């Protein structure tokens, strides 16, 4: 059954901050929603920043910061995708997990973004599986939750796949073929994720 859209159907929602969101309806009307008694300390973003400030410092190398943050996440999870970041409890999936890693690493001043990982040589659980790309001490790494791999182990000097995931080849025959450009670079240039991804690779000397 397809739900029929009305003129008050939600078209777009944007979080403004401080417990405020701006909502645009199909009819063009804009509504501002304010959360009563909003506590900025009880947000995931705030707790990510707070934890990072507590467990890292400027004297650490990028690699030390990353290992410290990943260890914190592993040590503070109830199960694989149930995490406790400071006082914030998260029940999530690979998307939320990679979002948390990206936020925490960026707060630690390590360039990091999310990426679609289902096309990779080793991580092809589903085409929509997500993990992270980070520039760590000038080197590009793929971070899959608590595992780190050098980007150069997965992609050649042209950022094309080295091999492909044989286990999933029969299910997803077009995924991660030998010599195929990193899927995360095959976006429209106006896409924000593409821009972030490109910048991280540029910092690591993988793109001009």
Is the pLDDT confidence value at 204 over 80? yes
Spatial contact of 199 and 111, defined as CB atoms under 8 Å apart? yes
pLDDT value, residue 177 = 63
Residue 125 and residue 62 share a domain: yes
How would residue 39 be classed by pLDDT, with cut points 50, 70 and 90? low
Mean pLDDT of 169-193: 69
Say whether both 6 and 102 belong to one domain. Answer: no
Q: What share of the chain in percent tops pLDDT 90?
A: 49
Q: Is 96 helix (H, G, I), strand (E, B) or coil?
A: helix
Size (the chain), residues = 208
Q: Are residues 88 and 122 located together in one domain of the fold?
A: yes
Both 22 and 53 in one domain: the answer is: no
- Residue 2's pLDDT is 46
CB–CB of 52/60 below 8 Å?
no
What is the model's pLDDT at position 4? 47
CA angle 141, 147, 153 (to 5 degrees): 45
**From 11-20, 46-55, 89-98, 109-118, the region with the lowest mean pLDDT:** 11-20
Is 208 a member of any domain?
no
* Average pLDDT value over all residues in the chain: 81
92 and 177 fall within a common domain: yes
How many other CB atoms sit within 10 Å of the CB of residue 177? 14
Q: Are 111 and 21 contained in the same domain?
A: no
As given in the structure block, the two tokens for residue 60 are 């650490």
Higher pLDDT: 198 or 191? It is 198
Tokens 């199960």, located at residue: 79
For residue 166, pLDDT beyond 70: no
pLDDT in the model for residue 207: 92
Distances (CA, A) of 96 to 89, 93, 100, 102: 12, 5, 6, 10
**Span 71-128, pLDDT tens digits:** 999 999 999 899 999 999 999 999 899 999 999 999 999 999 999 876 666 555 566 7
- Stated pTM of the model: 0.77
Identify the helix (H) or strand (E) that includes residue 101: helix 94-107
Q: Which residue has the higher pLDDT, 164 or 161?
A: 161
Is pLDDT above 90 for 38?
A: no
Strands 88-91 and 82-85: antiparallel
Which of 137, 88, 87 minimizes the C-alpha distance to 109?
137
Q: What's the Cα-to-Cα distance from 42 to each of 19, 50, 53, 75, 79, rounded to whole Å?
A: 11, 11, 16, 21, 22
Say what the pLDDT of residue 126 is.
62
Let me know whether 194 and 165 are in one domain.
yes
Residue 150: beta bridge partners? Answer: 141
Do 19 and 74 share a domain, yes or no?
no
pLDDT given at position 180: 78
Is residue 157 pLDDT above 50, yes or no? yes
| Assigned domain for 151 exists | yes
- Are 110 and 93 in the same domain? yes
Domain enclosing residue 30, as ranges: 1-38
Rounded CA-CA distance 170/175 in Å is: 10
As for how many domains the chain has, the answer is 2
């Amino acid at each position: 059954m397809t739900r029929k859209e009305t003129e008050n159907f939600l078209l777009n929602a944007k979080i403004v901050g401080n417990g405020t969101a701006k909502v645009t309806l199909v009819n063009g009307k804009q509504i501002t929603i304010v959360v009563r008694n909003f506590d900025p300390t009880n947000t995931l973003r705030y707790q990510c920043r707070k934890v990072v400030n507590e467990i890292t410092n400027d004297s650490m190398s990028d690699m030390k910061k990353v290992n410290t943050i990943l260890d914190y996440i592993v040590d503070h999870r109830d199960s694989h995708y149930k995490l406790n970041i400071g006082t914030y409890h998260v029940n999530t999936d690979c998307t939320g997990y990679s979002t948390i890693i990206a936020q925490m690493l960026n707060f630690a001043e390590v360039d990091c973004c999310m990426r679609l990982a289902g096309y990779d040589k080793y991580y092809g659980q589903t085409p929509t599986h997500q993990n992270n790309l980070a520039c760590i001490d000038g080197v590009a790494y793929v971070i899959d939750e608590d595992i780190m791999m050098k980007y150069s182990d997965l992609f050649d000097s042209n950022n094309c796949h080295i091999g492909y995931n044989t286990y999933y080849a029969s299910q997803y025959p077009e995924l991660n073929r030998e010599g195929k450009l990193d899927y995360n670079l095959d976006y429209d240039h106006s896409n924000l994720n593409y821009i972030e991804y490109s910048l991280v690779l540029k910092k690591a000397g993988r793109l001009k």
